[in-house]
Structures are given as structure tokens and as C-alpha cells.
Structure 1
């Protein structure tokens, strides 16, 4: 005897959603209302100065305009003057060369300090941390003044120590007159101020590497160098990219250290970086339109660097 299979039961009404509920709900305006004050502050403090800078770059804006005369629109003349100026490319090349050396030294020393902190005991690690925090917390102008005294021509401790060590007379030697020695002192200051941030960030990333993976690779015969480059570096690769991009931007637009060190004894014509050169063009010559155009070009360079960082971040998210 054959039995007819029972028809499937209809789903309960509780599980059947009406078509209205399947539609996408409209987003609430409440989150945008919460963001409105922050967006307003950003618009006032960031967007408006950038907009004013761009407008000024298309104008002839000198001392007369600063005292109330109406500016004249000159189109792309300021940009053409900047991009055809040999002085601009000389300063840009000088700034890029200094940036490359400073970034390499800062990243290398900061990573080495981070690796050292991992191996140190608790007491010594705390001592190193306090020292790094003191170096990081010191204002830029105070740092330049301290290093300026150390390299002082007559009373600096550097000349005294070199005289005692080498036996030669270093008294009266000026470190800031020659461009090469000027950038040597500037590099020491910038690297000294940048190492703590790199060290703390790399230490936070390296401590997250699984200890089991490192122990397994050590049992397999991998030495310290192989463990670092084949395990630890890939694990913190995103952190390294962020640190390199930030260091490139910071060292390319360094201003306070250069300007203060020039006030102690440096030559403006041969030691100015991009930010200081733009400032001097605006204040010394009074050609604010030219300085604004050069600043826009500098901002464009920074945006290109940031664009690379954003693209790398999006790739990792995908």
C-alpha cells in the first residue's frame, strides 16, 4: 500500500517578514549631528586656511596688499615662477636629501631601541622608557638651544671633548658655518627627537608577535637576524609603513629646528629647508603670492606621500 507524502507545511507567520521590513532602513541624522561640532572646528582651523592659501597663490599679494590695497589676480604666474626657479629645486633637493638620511637613521635607531627594550629587564626597561619620554617631551626650541650650547664655538662640550680625545685644538671651531656640519647638527637634533616615537611604536608592535612562533623558529635553527626579517618584520609591516610615511612628512616639513639653529649661527642661503625657505620668501621679500604658491606645491607633495599610505592601507583592508 502506497502512502502519499504529506505536503510541506507553510512557515509560521512569525517568520514571514513583510516586504516593508526587507527594505533598507534610512540612516539616522543623529550621528551626523554629533560630528557637526568637530567638522565645524576642522573647517575653521584647517579648511579655511588652506582655501585662503590657494586663493593667495593666484594673486599678487605683497606688502601693499598687507596694508589694505586690493590684490591683483595673476593666474598661474606664481606657480610658473616657482616651478621655473632654480633656487626652489635646490632647496627641494636639499630638503629631500636631508629627509632621506633622517628617516633612515630614525627608523633604524628606533627599531634597535625597541628590540633592546624587549630584551631588557623590567627595571632597565623603565629607565630607558623614562629617558625616551624626556627626550620626546622636550619642546623643539629648547632642544635646539641645548644642542646649540653643546656645539658652541667657544664653550661647547663637543669641541672640548674632541680636543681631549684627538689631541688637536678644536677650540673656536664653528659647526654651523659650513652647510655640511650644519646639517650634521640638525640631523642629530631631528633624529634624537624622532627616535622615541619610533621606539615606542615598534616596541608595542613587536611585543604582539606570538612567542610560540618565535620559539618554534628558534628550535628550527633560525638565528636572531632570520627571526627578525622573516617573522617579526612581516608581522609589523603595516606599522612600519605608517612610521615611514609619518617620518617622511615630518622630516620634509621640519621648520622650528632649522629656523632656531640658523638663528644661532647658520647661513640662511645654504641651510634653509623647504618650509624655512617659503617662510623667508614671504617675510623677507614680502612676496606672499609666490610663497603661497610654493606652499601649495609643498602641500601637493605631502598629499602624494599620504596617497601612497592610504592606498597601502586600503590594500591591506581588502
Structure 2
């Protein structure tokens, strides 16, 4: 009786490749990729990059050119280009106003970012512990606050804190603070910044809270059960389980909040236009007032470019700290 044996691997390979040693049509040896497939993702990115360069690159280049010009309403009407080199930058950097506004902007950004991240984190953790109905109700309120246009929200706060017919002054008066009946919230630097900070934090909290709650849903419940078996309380569970998982999210969100708050313009301009006596101007408002308000367009362009450089410096410094901490943890 003839014994049938399984064909060897060589025989199988030969059968598959055929007599001429080449794979049949439709089959490719190994993981050989089709020619040209590596360039396809880059080709698909060209339209998006072209639109970005058109909408962002051209205005930026135009702004750089304006910053080296002496451009006011007279030159603008006569279509005269008057180049003055680095005179705008020299005047800005040697003056006290720019550095005073820069320090004010950094402090303002730091206070708002800290308040936003702390309150947003607390509300995000609260969302994770609420029941479905209460969570849904709170999230609807957060989304509505987040979706309100900035100018509309600023106008509402302007009405709330109006000196004569504002709701805040009326409530404070009824609660016994009669001196607040006609208090002018935009009459001093501190009170104006208080209103603006309240507005910006109110608008920023929903982004932090909702995204942090979404991040908490990715944490396995088994980790909390294991921590509970080890005798960990609420605070220990947060520091050993919750916070390590949320740390990358907190880093990224803080980075985004720094950028968003640093360049905040409509909130401040709608509430006070940088007053009183230009004491609440931040760098974006300062650039607008000098450029458009005082019709020194070249000066305003130079201030805006310096603002971009300062923001890039702050964000790069923050990213260096984050990356260093991540390297230390590895």
C-alpha cells in the first residue's frame, strides 16, 4: 500500500509560485507595498495645507510687512508706503507701557488658568459621581454656557454688573450691602478684572469639566476596587489611581487654556475697552487700541507680532516642563 505524505514546504511554495518562479496574478510576495502608496497621505494633506497657508500665512506675512512701516490714516488714504525699519519695535521695547501690559497679561492669564483648571477639574470629578439624571442636567448647563457666543456672553455680563440697573447690584442691595446699590464695577482696575475673570472662567470651565469627565470613564473600575482592598481612602484613590490617568489630559488642557486666555480680546474690550485709564489692557487689547484706535497701524502690527512671540515663549517653556516631567516618570 502506497503511503501518502504531506507535501513539503518547498513543494507548497513551488506550487504557489508556479513553474516560472513568479507568484500568480493578484498575489504579492511578502509585505511588499504598492509603488506610490507612501506618498498618498502627503498628497491628501496638500489641499488642507494650501488653505491654511492662504488663510493664516498671508495675513501673517502682511502683518510682518506692516510692522516695518510708518502707516497711519494719511499714508493709507494716499496709498503711500513709508518704511521705517525697526523704529516701531525700538519705540515699543524701550517704552514702559509695553512691559507693564506684558506683565499684566501674564498675571491675568495665570490667575484665570489656575481658577479654570481647579474648578473645571472639581466639576469634572463631580460629573463622574453623579447619577444619570443629575449628570445630564449639569452637562446640558455646561454645554449651553460653552456654546454661547463670546460677544453675547460679554454683553450679558455687562448688563448683570451694570451700575444702576444691574442684577448683581440689586441682589447685593437687597441682601444688606446698600453701598453696592449703584457700585460701578468698571470704575477700578481690580473690580473690572474681577468681572472679566468671572466671565472667562465661566466660559472656560465647561471645556475642562466635560473633557475631564470623559477621561475618567476610561479608568478601569478594577483599579479602584484594588485600591479599596488595600485600604485606600477617597484622597488616596484619587492620588494613586485617578490623577495618574488624568495627568496627560491636564497637561494638554492647561496648554490649550493658556493660549485661549492669553489671547482673550472680546471679553475685555466689550466689558471695559481696556479702561479705566487703560489699566485693564492686555496685549491683544493694547495692540488693537494702538493700531486701530490710535490709527498707528504699523505700531499695532509690531505689538501683535511681539505678542505672538511672547505666547510662543511661554507655551514652549511650559511644554519643556511637561516633557521633562514625562521623561522623569519613565
Q: TM-score range with shorter-chain normalisation?
A: 0.7 to 0.9
Per the TM alignment, residue 307 of structure 1 is displaced from its structure 2 partner at its CA by 3.2
For the structure 1 residues 122 and 106, does the alpha-carbon distance in structure 2 shift closer, same or farther, using more than 3 Å as the test? same
- Is the 1:58–1:74 Cα contact (8 Å) retained in structure 2? yes
> Aligned pair 1:82/2:104, yes or no?
no
Q: Aligned to 1:301, which of 293, 306, 310? A: 310
- Is the 1:242–1:309 Cα contact (8 Å) retained in structure 2? no
- Is the 1:110–1:196 Cα contact (8 Å) retained in structure 2? yes
> Aligned pair 1:154/2:168, yes or no?
no
Equivalent residue, structure 1, for 2:26? none
> Aligned pair 1:284/2:293, yes or no?
yes
Stretch deviating more after TM superposition (301-310 or 132-141) = 301-310
Scaled by the length of structure 2, what TM-score is found? Answer: 0.84
Equivalent residue, structure 1, for 2:155? 145
Aligned equivalents of 2:10, 2:68: Cα separation in 1: 72
- Is the 1:56–1:288 Cα contact (8 Å) retained in structure 2? yes
Q: Aligned to 1:69, which of 71, 79, 83? A: 79
- Is the 1:92–1:274 Cα contact (8 Å) retained in structure 2? yes
For the structure 1 residues 308 and 204, does the alpha-carbon distance in structure 2 shift closer, same or farther, using more than 3 Å as the test? farther
Q: Identify unmatched segments of 5+ residues in structure 2.
A: 1-8, 24-30
Aligned equivalents of 2:168, 2:33: Cα separation in 1: 74
- Is the 2:69–2:84 Cα contact (8 Å) retained in structure 1? yes
> Aligned pair 1:221/2:235, yes or no?
no
Q: Aligned to 1:212, which of 222, 227, 234? A: 222
Scaled by the length of structure 1, what TM-score is found? Answer: 0.87
Q: Aligned-pair RMSD on alpha carbons?
A: 3.0
- Is the 1:54–1:292 Cα contact (8 Å) retained in structure 2? yes
- Is the 1:58–1:78 Cα contact (8 Å) retained in structure 2? yes
Aligned equivalents of 1:16, 1:160: Cα separation in 2: 89
- Measured against aligned partners, the alpha-carbon deviations of 1:96-153 in whole angstroms (never above 9, x if no partner) come to 1111111011001100111111110000000001000110011111111111121111
Aligned equivalents of 2:167, 2:289: Cα separation in 1: 32
Equivalent residue, structure 2, for 1:186? 196
Equivalent residue, structure 1, for 2:131? 121
Per the TM alignment, residue 26 of structure 1 is displaced from its structure 2 partner at its CA by 5.5
SS at match of 1:73: coil
Aligned equivalents of 1:23, 1:234: Cα separation in 2: 40
Per the TM alignment, residue 219 of structure 1 is displaced from its structure 2 partner at its CA by 2.1
Stretch deviating more after TM superposition (197-206 or 141-150) = 141-150
Aligned equivalents of 2:100, 2:58: Cα separation in 1: 31
For the structure 1 residues 167 and 33, does the alpha-carbon distance in structure 2 shift closer, same or farther, using more than 3 Å as the test? closer
Stretch deviating more after TM superposition (305-314 or 130-139) = 305-314
- Is the 1:278–1:291 Cα contact (8 Å) retained in structure 2? yes
For the structure 1 residues 55 and 167, does the alpha-carbon distance in structure 2 shift closer, same or farther, using more than 3 Å as the test? closer
Q: Aligned to 2:115, which of 88, 105, 118? A: 105
Q: Identify unmatched segments of 5+ residues in structure 1.
A: 1-8
Equivalent residue, structure 1, for 2:256? 246
Structure showing greater relative contact order (alpha-carbon pairs closer than 8 Å, 6 or more residues apart): 1
Equivalent residue, structure 2, for 1:4? none
